[in-house]
Amino acid sequence: MAFNIVKEKYRNKISQVTIGATKEEGGTRTSTVTIGGEEALPFLHFEGNMPNRPVTALEVWDIEPPEWNECFKPYYGEVYSDVGEWARKCVEEYGAEMICLRLKGADPDEDNRSAEECEASVKQVLDSVGVPVIVLGCGKFEKDNEIFMKVAESGAGENLLMGVAEQENYKTLTAAALGYKHAIIAQSPIDINIAKQLNIMIGEMNFDTDRIVMDPTIAAVGYGIEYGYSIMQRARFGALGGDKAMAKPMIGNIGWEVWKTKEANAPESDFPDWGEQEPRGINWEIVTASSLICAGLDIAVLRHPKTLAVTKKLIDDIMVANSY
């Protein structure tokens, strides 16, 4: 009885996006990251090439994060006030492949930092680490539109990944990224139809849609991860079947979602049955990250250094070719 491996034939592949630029390429990065390019479902190496491995990023804030769990203090406490040192620690000590700088300080309800201050934070991170940098706004449309252009300008040549563009607010960021040659994150609210339409609208501004990274908005385990998971799968099936508008790599803010949950944060004294808080939170983040990586996530933005270590190991193992 001969055994035949069933192999699906796909018509299309995911676009490949490079983030960061070295000196020769007009930037100052010492390494770049390339994601995407998948020709088959995640890690089905026997069916098609998966030329680039998913990458991990650690989240860094431009202000001391007011609501982060106490368990992060031993890792980041001494660098909370210095965004450059914080980023350096993430890369040199904890092994982050990218830095995700969240300009939360610009939030009018936080420090209401000016565009110039945001620009300075970006510079600080760029000066202190050599890995590619993701820059996120504070999440308030009006304020983000003030800072996007400045950040794009001062990061010119660095080939940043900037975010986020949303259906109701994508033009300023797209124009800034177009003018200063950055890649962008297109974020949709767990809605595949909006995800597709947003990619099209960004393309209509003459932005090269092969420079888009999709953020389908994911949720943590126990809080609706299955919605994001199935949307990511559907997007991948569509993309591989020929849907160009869906054929983009994907990013997920794992740390951000996980460390909002009660299960990650609650002390053992409140819920003795749940066990110790910190390992519980780390596991919550690992399980969320690994699940979504199996659904096709290309960049996992994490928060806990121990999550990062385990996730990288997991990616190492699952990237081992399983061709027959």
Partner 1 sequence: MLVIGERINGMFKDIANAIKTGDPTAVQEWAKKQEANGAAWLDINCGPASDDPVSHMKWLVEVTQEVAKAPLALDSTNYDAIEAGLEICKQPALINSVPAEWPKMERVFEMAAKYEAGVVGLAMNEQGIPKDADSRVALAMELCAAADSYGVPMEDLYIDPLVLPCNVGQDHGPEALETIRQVKTLADPPPRTTVGLSNISQGTKKRELINRTFAVMGIAMGLDTAVADADDDELMEAIACARIIMNLDIYCDSFVEVYKDRW
| Site residues (vs partner 1, CB under 8 A) | 9, 192-194, 196-197, 200, 234-235, 238, 243-246
Closest CB to partner 1 among residues 6, 320: 6
Look at the block and give the residue holding tokens 């092969």: 210
For the bound state, the minimum distance from the C-beta of residue 245 to partner 1, rounded and expressed in Å, comes to 6
In the sheet with 212-215, reading across from the earlier edge strand, the strands are 212-215, 183-187, 161-165, 133-136, 98-102, 55-61, 299-302, 251-253
Q: How far is the CB of 242 from partner 1 (least distance, A)?
A: 9
List strand residue ranges (DSSP E) for 79-173, in order: 98-102, 133-136, 161-165
In whole angstroms, how close is the CB of 253 to partner 1 at the nearest point? 23
Smallest gap from residue 9 Cβ to partner 1 (A) = 8
| CB-nearer residue toward partner 1: 203 or 224 | 203
Distance in Å, CB of 240 to partner 1, minimum: 12
By C-beta, is 123 or 234 nearer to partner 1?
234
Shortest Å, Cβ 192 to partner 1: 6
Beta-bridge partner residues of 58: 99, 302
Q: Closest Cα partner for 185 from 206, 204, 155, 207?
A: 207
Kindly give the interhelix angle for 225-240 and 192-204, rounded to the nearest 10 degrees: 50
Cβ-based nearer residue to partner 1, 156 or 192 = 192
Indicate the residue among 9 and 66 with the shorter CB distance to partner 1: 9
The alpha carbon of 272 is separated from its chain's Cα centroid by a whole number of angstroms, namely: 33
* Cβ-contact 54, 60 below 8 angstroms: no
What are the phi and psi torsion angles at 102 (to 5°)? -100, 120
- How far, in Å, CA of 81 to CA of 10, rounded? 49
What are 96's two structure tokens? 């982050």
In the complex, the smallest distance separating the C-beta of residue 215 from partner 1, rounded to whole angstroms, is 17
User: Which one, 193 or 323, has the nearer CB to partner 1?
Assistant: 193
DSSP string, 277-323: HHHHHHHHHHHHHHHHHHTT-SEEEE--HHHHHHHHHHHHHHTS---
Q: Which residues contact 49 (CB under 8 A, 6 or more apart)?
A: 37, 38, 39, 40
Nearer to partner 1, 9 or 142 (CB): 9
Q: Give the shortest CB-205-to-partner 1 separation in angstroms.
A: 14
Q: Are strands 133-136 and 98-102 parallel, antiparallel or unpaired?
A: parallel
Residue 9 vs 24, nearer CB to partner 1: 9
